[in-house]
Structure 1
């Protein structure tokens, strides 16, 4: 084949030009395999990529009469000619395949038989073997020669560069799509938060959520029901991204629709649970604390569905009440009952509703902020209005966790009774 070297070099240069003008991985691989057969004048060719976990070779794209039969097959580490090349990083020419001790057998069950082959490693930009390129059965009963190796290796080097470039391109596209999805989910989530928090003669209110990632699973709402009643809602949806945002949308819509109904808080919560079990994927669930505050009588009606208990701090006595009455998390079991409870708030009382991102915030020593630190802030916070109290707690959590990654969303609702 030495006499055909100029034409084969021409084929190589043409193939390199074609694969370098393509970025879609499927197109790049197809061009590589067609060129491998042509350059080596072979009946068949195979591109096998190395699985980094199992170290198996996966026949990613074969060509030839048995391509459909062997596509996707896995070759154990070090087995066969391809496994030998991948494990040693060395090229190989074999012209009596069936009598070679490294022969792994014909992978196809058809009449196609391997007579001879040339196999070279594929290396990434760091020099690591990522797969092998193989040409099988030179046409017209020809044989492969050692002087075929430099040409085929040169093509394999160019092919490996094109594959890596294409994979990076695909990764960048996927990252861009994910960022767009997260941005959309973030816009959805922010749209759920109350645009304006109502003001009352006897009560000040404040709320805030800051997600750990671009979009999180926390949800809060402050919803005036009528002139004297206001609903305060904090929830934590399992998961993040668009799926969590869509569950938030369903919960928000269901709760807001039911708030002015004649149904009791327990009935509304049970109906919400049935909806989540019916309409959300297995494994998705929600914790929820929601309440209705009568801003004239200061009566608080609440239920807690598997959520962190809210706290009521009384500066007059220094006592802290824990609001935990309710039931389990929502979205797991369909036929659950939920209870509600009532509490009269007194002048000066501070109500704090939150998600676990507050008490589970970690510092650089991996210590959690915890309930004790939160409770220790209440006497000072109770001297402020609701917005001031929220900002005080937020500053303290941020100071505690400064420099450490935030692993979970954090949400607060604060109600301060004047007087």
Structure 2
């Protein structure tokens, strides 16, 4: 195929002349050489342009995949588009039921950007793009415009609408506008389609991420509500002991829970921590608490309470989940404590004279892991002024900015020093110390404290 690029003119001034066959052949050779050089230059320029475009598109794809926030992705799409196509204004319209809604705009002053404006899919140029699932290029005829006077786009003389399609679904339309006629060529159309494919994937990923975040936030709200409903609204009164309890759920909503059970002249203390986070952990927490509470009323000894609770949980909880639980039965009349532990941290006992010790029991698996696990218990005498501190790992594993743990030693020192305080005051002191140690760092695990103090039988002070 012969392509004509132009012509070379040879002129004679002063007198007419004619050219010989040899001269004409030479002229033809020169013209052919010039045409070849020009064609090669055009091919080289086109190749360089394609290479630059391809590199820019790769960079665009990388940039667009750098964020999953829809509020960041949409403006980013239009900013990256300007690197490829010189436009005056551009918008992204997303499908919203039977209309297209402008979700991002570029080229307008901030106070006049048409964000939120809608157009019907059935009766609009952008709607035609959605229905046809193909790009549409419009150029205004002479002395006229594409869109009606008074429209926000009444200055547009060239309009390119490109569908945003991901996984076969039309998400919206990329509108590219120019105030000049014939502003976009075939190359722009091809680039716009490729760009729109990258943009559609980025937009869909951002939408899916947003939906996922909303779903997680909803689950967290439900989980927090379940967790808060499980805590006793008021603590039972029991002659001879005073009690304070608090659970501070982390934002992620872990699985800490506690319960204080009125068993007549005795009181049962349950402190637990279930594996996992969010809604599954909250559901497991509800099952574990209700089961342990029921078994505490049915059995005399804590080791039996643990064994029966474990038997039920093994059947009900999902695989690879478990419950670390401690159960203490306190008899203020007999001055006796019976403690059984299933993977929970050892409670801290402070005697009235300031001596402290951790109440270790023989090691046993957390509940829900193995059906026929046997649990041990320890029994010891309590005296007026003795204080028991039950806690979960969120307390001792709190970290400061140097990633140091709050730790057991620090907890023991604080209880030894402040253990003479009433339970509610001691609880507030310990939480304040943890907060001060953490230096404002976000809490990533629940913190639970239950403090029991042995009082003379005539005393009866309980705090929630």
TM-score, scaled relative to structure 1: 0.65
Q: In the superposition, relative to structure 1, how do residues 352 and 163 fare at CA in structure 2: closer, same or farther (>3 Å)?
A: same
Aligned-residue offset at 1:366: 0.6
Aligned-residue offset at 1:275: 2.1
Say yes or no: does 1:188 pair with 2:188: no
User: Which residue is 1:375 aligned to?
Assistant: 412
Q: Secondary structure at the match of 2:297?
A: coil
2:236 counterpart (198, 203, 209): 198
Say yes or no: does 1:232 pair with 2:269: yes
1:404 counterpart (409, 417, 441): 441
Could you tell me whether the CA contact under 8 Å between 2:356 and 2:412 is conserved in 1?
A: no
Q: Extract unaligned runs of 5+ from structure 2.
A: 1-89, 98-128, 138-163, 175-184, 457-464
1:282 counterpart (309, 319, 327): 319
Query: 2-side partners of 1:267 and 1:34: how far apart?
Result: 71
Q: Secondary structure at the match of 2:95?
A: coil
Query: 2-side partners of 1:21 and 1:305: how far apart?
Result: 54
Query: 2-side partners of 1:238 and 1:23: how far apart?
Result: 40
Q: In the superposition, relative to structure 1, how do residues 395 and 305 fare at CA in structure 2: closer, same or farther (>3 Å)?
A: same
User: Is the radius of gyration larger for structure 1 or structure 2?
Assistant: 2
Query: 1-side partners of 2:398 and 2:193: how far apart?
Result: 53
Query: 2-side partners of 1:171 and 1:319: how far apart?
Result: 50
User: Which residue is 1:20 aligned to?
Assistant: 93
Q: Give 1:122-141 correspondences, 5 Å limit.
A: none
Query: 1-side partners of 2:332 and 2:131: how far apart?
Result: 74
Could you tell me whether the CA contact under 8 Å between 2:354 and 2:416 is conserved in 1?
A: no
2:217 counterpart (176, 179, 198): 179
Aligned-residue offset at 1:391: 0.9
Say yes or no: does 1:365 pair with 2:398: no
User: Which residue is 1:268 aligned to?
Assistant: 305
Aligned-residue offset at 1:320: 2.0
User: Which residue is 1:391 aligned to?
Assistant: 428
Q: In the superposition, relative to structure 1, how do residues 200 and 257 fare at CA in structure 2: closer, same or farther (>3 Å)?
A: closer
User: Which residue is 2:133 aligned to?
Assistant: 35
1:355 counterpart (372, 381, 392): 392
Query: 2-side partners of 1:208 and 1:300: how far apart?
Result: 21
TM-score, scaled relative to structure 2: 0.59
2:378 counterpart (341, 348, 356): 341
User: Which residue is 1:157 aligned to?
Assistant: 195
Q: Secondary structure at the match of 1:260?
A: helix
Aligned-residue offset at 1:326: 5.8
Could you tell me whether the CA contact under 8 Å between 1:285 and 1:330 is conserved in 2?
A: yes
Say yes or no: does 1:215 pair with 2:313: no
Q: In the superposition, relative to structure 1, how do residues 34 and 164 fare at CA in structure 2: closer, same or farther (>3 Å)?
A: farther
User: Which residue is 1:130 aligned to?
Assistant: none
Counting matched residue pairs gives 304
Q: In the superposition, relative to structure 1, how do residues 333 and 48 fare at CA in structure 2: closer, same or farther (>3 Å)?
A: farther
Q: Secondary structure at the match of 2:244?
A: strand
Aligned-residue offset at 1:274: 2.3
Q: In the superposition, relative to structure 1, how do residues 282 and 388 fare at CA in structure 2: closer, same or farther (>3 Å)?
A: same
User: Which residue is 2:11 aligned to?
Assistant: none
